[in-house]
Structure 1
Amino acid sequence: MQQYINPNPETWLEILKRPTQTVENIEDTVNQIFDDVKRHGDRAISKYTSMFDGVLLESILVDSSEIDAAANRVPESLKQAIQLAKNNIEVFHKAQITDRVEVETITGVKCWQEKRPIQKVGLYIPGGTAPLFSSVLMLAIPAKIAGCKDIVLCSPPNKQGQLADEILYAAQLCGVTNILKVGGIQAIAGLTFGTESIPQVYKIFGPGNQFVTVAKQLATKYGVAIDMPAGPSELLVVADDSANAAYVASDLLSQAEHGVDSQVILVTTSKDLLKEVEVEIKSQISVLPRKVIAEKAINNSRIIYVENDETALKLINEYAPEHFIICCKNEDFYVNGIINAGSVFIGNFTPESAGDYASGTNHTLPTNGFSKAYSGVNLDSFNKSVTFQKISESGIKSIGPAIEAMASAEGLQAHKNAVTLRLKDLTN
């Protein structure tokens, strides 16, 4: 990890730079694949699945027999773990259900807001070196609670043309309606336009690599909404002398092992802890099965020493981490002061991996600084807020003159007339 001691704030932007390609380097590829899928449907999907995933499939649809066989292969101990996580995720997301909001803004004018589910949603579940079946839980459970009718899941197949057993088991458990063996840019394009096999959806959810992130952003140009730009994983830990160096190192490595383009950062007010964490990282990384991946990610990562909590907090809000762990005596200072973060983990016994799997919060979070403007996935991500109003005769009399005056000032005569006609009828 690259080390910085009291860096000048003017250098923060460069120090905190993510190890991602520029959008310009990716957009041409994404545009080409989108155009091909739009024109050729399943034929283009098959071509890119063969090209990128190295497998030629007779059908990308997963049938019930495949799901049943996969479920039988999942160990009972893992099924129990998945069930515990499912229960906690359901509890947390059901708590987000809100009642109808209703108010009479002025006598005779009643306004209210109700939630309506998005009817068709697409869930993108990464495969690759670590098939993320936990993301199935994080996306399908709130979709089901919200009442989404069509829940379409896409995930890249392995070289044998299969999806991970755990992905299929979790998808069935959580009520996914369609499962397709397709990943990458072509999956996002399929969900955007629809093909012979892939249903078109109204909103696309899920994490992915930089190509998937850019593909999701391109989908918005075709009228499809997305949850957020969610790219390579990242974690920032702030820690002082009260932190456990082994715990801090393990948390940093838990994100570094996601992928070579992941980034982890330690911000500390303790030079002693800084040294201890460096030692722990070298020790722990040496025995990781995904050592090679973690080492490359660690090369993209930073240890930053600052003299006080105030400077640390300013730097952290500037970085806007996806995951933010607080291991400090003065934890309330950071809890109350953090503005830009996807999800926050507080205390020495709150590892980031708890949020990844089983605490109940959602792990689909904004990366690459987007937590400055985006929230992580939550129940409202799968809902629309629809407003209603009902105005009585006395109500239109109360607000009618104001509407007429404002419409006239904006030069919108037909708007004014819609009120004037009603007011005249009420005075005759």
Structure 2
Amino acid sequence: MTALDASATAAAPAPREQEQLLPRVDLRGRTHDEELVASVLPRAALDVSAAVELVRPIVEDVRARGAAAVREATARIDGIDAGTTRVPAEALAAALADLDPAVRAALEESIRRARLVHEAQRRPDEVVEVAPGGTVTERWVPVRRVGLYVPGGLCPLPSSVVMNVVPAQVAGVRSLAVVSPPQREHGGLPHPVVLAACALLGVEEVHAVGGAQAVAMLAYGTEQCRKVDMVTGPGNVYVAAAKRLVRGAVGIDSEAGPTEIGILADETADPVFVAADLLSQAEHDPNASCLLVSPSEELLDAVAAEVERQFALTKHVDRVGPALRSQSAAVLVDDIDAGLALVDEWAAEHLEVITRDAAAVAARVTNAGAVFVGPWSPVSLGDYLAGSNHVLPTGGTAKFNPGLSVQTFLRGIHVVDYSRDALAAVAHHIDALGGAEDLVAHVAAVRVRVPAEEAGA
């Protein structure tokens, strides 16, 4: 982040600057300075608000012209011109038949664990008797049709198929449409491992389309894809921006943009582990953000050295380098309490707590998409096999948005059932409240049923 060191030097004492992959900021004694803290906490250079105006023309074009606009946008952006977005059933079957047995076994175990966790989230209908003869039932009704976005631009993500589809199926959603970007090297279809994961989960409707045009297609419908009621799933900042634009026409889960990791660690943390976890998230996307917060200068030094060493060995240096240099930071704070305040302010998508008494420290976290406790619970575990969901809020929206769950796909409907006697028992209260609000027709709608002259009314 270009302003990172400059912002931090605005107040004495000056932070220590180092020429290294992970920029260093010294906030000891200054975490109370909210303006300074906000200026140095890293985020992706392009935020959702800025991206909205870039994708608005695509979304509006798809809304107006349907499949033709989707086709043109896909040809322009992905270099693929296909007559239809729908993936043939035989391509799904072939992808599953050709799937590496080890990958299939891993996906099956991921699905099994995800089902265990998500089935526990399914709320039963609740009937509450508020008075004799008067009940309110909370019914949980699934969304009828959902569109599930599975990224595939920089790398195929069959794990995101699992994370989207399993909670929707557990919720009881009857109609699912998965969208994933087309790949030129795979004949204009999504990556075969993504198709195989869909087939493994019994998903029959898959569309080879990505980006803002995919979100708009789901939200408004085309000749090739029926409109959905909700769009969920992670993606890049342009996908998140498109979801913001269509919100209202359809429901969305959250604006899950470029990935991010926060790590709160003390001197007990293993720098090899910490560095590996930073690189693991940075390899997702050049726009990924990584934040390491610690009261231990020795740990930060050791992690910096490990980041350099492991970076030299990593495959995706073209993603990891920009992510670490441009929107990541290692922050030195006074103590764990100051660190907690800082990570709560940042509200990470993924937060690792690798400290002494890590479970107790993690229990104090209030803002995070998901929290990973101790040295043996890396974010990579959550990406694949923890059983938790990895579709999580980014960009600080974890302050008010939850991650994807079964509840995302359920709507609570109150069913009110009162007898005549139960209505009569509260009619005088409705007289009072309706009169106070000058809504006399409200009162009349009750009194036409229960006249005031009746005893007890």
TM-score above 0.5, yes or no:
yes
Equivalent pair of 2:96/2:200 in contact (CA under 8 Å) = no
CA distance in 2, matches of 1:54, 1:379: 36
1:79 matched residue in structure 2 = 104
Alignment of 1:355 onto 2:355: no
User: For 1:98, which of 81, 103, 123 is the aligned residue?
Assistant: 123
How far did residue 427 of structure 1 move? 2.7
Which residue, out of 289, 292, 303, partners 2:318? 292
Residue 214 (structure 1) shift: 0.7
- What SS does structure 2 have at the residue aligned with 1:322? strand
Aligned CA-pair RMSD: 1.4
Whether the 8 Å CA contact 2:215–2:239 is kept in 1: the answer is yes
CA distance in 1, matches of 2:111, 2:48: 35
C-alpha distance in 1, partners of 2:159/2:292?
A: 26
Moved more, 27-36 or 157-166: 27-36
Matched to 1:416, the amino acid is: V
Question: 1:391 matched to which residue of 2?
Answer: 418
Partner of 1:326: helix, strand, or coil?
strand
For the residues of structure 1 that align with 2:48 and 2:285, how far apart are their CA atoms?
19
Q: Please, what TM-score do these two structures have when normalized by structure 1?
A: 0.97
Shifted more, 392-401 versus 83-92: the winner is: 392-401
Q: Which residue of 2 aligns with 1:4?
A: 25
Q: CA deviation at 1:149?
A: 1.2
> Is 1:136 paired with 2:161?
yes
SS of structure 1 residue aligned to 2:129: strand
**CA separation in 2, counterparts of 1:28 and 1:217?**
11
- Once the two structures are superposed, what CA deviation does each residue of 1:324-353 show, in whole Å capped at 9, x if it has no partner? 001000324422211100000001111101
For residues 289-324 of structure 1, the C-alpha deviation after alignment (integer angstroms, 9 at most, x for no partner) is 112210110112100111211111111111111000
What CA distance in whole angstroms lies between the structure 2 residues aligned with 1:289 and 1:360?
A: 27
1:44 aligns with 2:69: yes
Aligned match of 1:240: 266
Residue in structure 2 matching 1:303, options 330, 340, 349: 330
SS at match of 2:104: helix
Query: Within 1, Cα distance between the matches of 2:452 and 2:438?
Result: 23
Q: Distance in 1 between matches of 2:153 and 2:48?
A: 22
Gaps of 5+ in 1: none
Moved over 4 A (4+): none
1:363-402 to 2 correspondences below 5 Å: 363-402=390-429
Q: Which residue of 1 aligns with 2:286?
A: 260
Cα deviation digits, residues 245-295 of structure 1 (max 9, x gap): 111111111100000000001101111111111111111111111122101
SS of aligned partner of 1:88:
helix
Identity %: 32
**Matches of 2:453 and 2:234, distance apart in 1:** 57
Distance, in Å, in 2 between the alignment partners of 1:416 and 1:257 is 63
Structure 2 residue aligned with 1:153:
178
Instruction: Name the structure 2 match of 1:67.
Output: 92
Mapped partners of 1:218, 1:109: distance in 2: 42
Please tell me whether residue 199 in structure 1 is matched to residue 226 in structure 2: yes
Structure 2 residue corresponding to 1:30, chosen from 55, 58, 78? 55
How far is 1:22 from its partner? 4.4
1:202-281 matched pairs, under 5 angstroms: 202-221=229-248, 223-281=249-307
CA contact (8 A) 2:49 2:241 kept: no
Does the 8 Å CA contact 1:260/1:293 hold for their aligned counterparts? Answer: yes
Change (3 A) 1:201 1:266: same
Read off the aligned partner of 1:141 and give its amino acid letter.
V
Counterpart of 1:124 (choices 140, 149, 161) is: 149
CA distance in 1 between counterparts of 2:374 and 2:49 reads 40
CA offsets, 1:233-254, max 9 Å, x none?
A: 0000011111111111111111
How many residue pairs match? The answer is: 427
Pick the aligned partner of 2:345 from 306, 310, 318.
318
CA contact (8 A) 1:140 1:175 kept: no
In structure 2, C-alpha distance between the alignment counterparts of 1:238 and 1:252, rounded to whole Å: 12
Q: Secondary structure at the match of 2:449?
A: helix
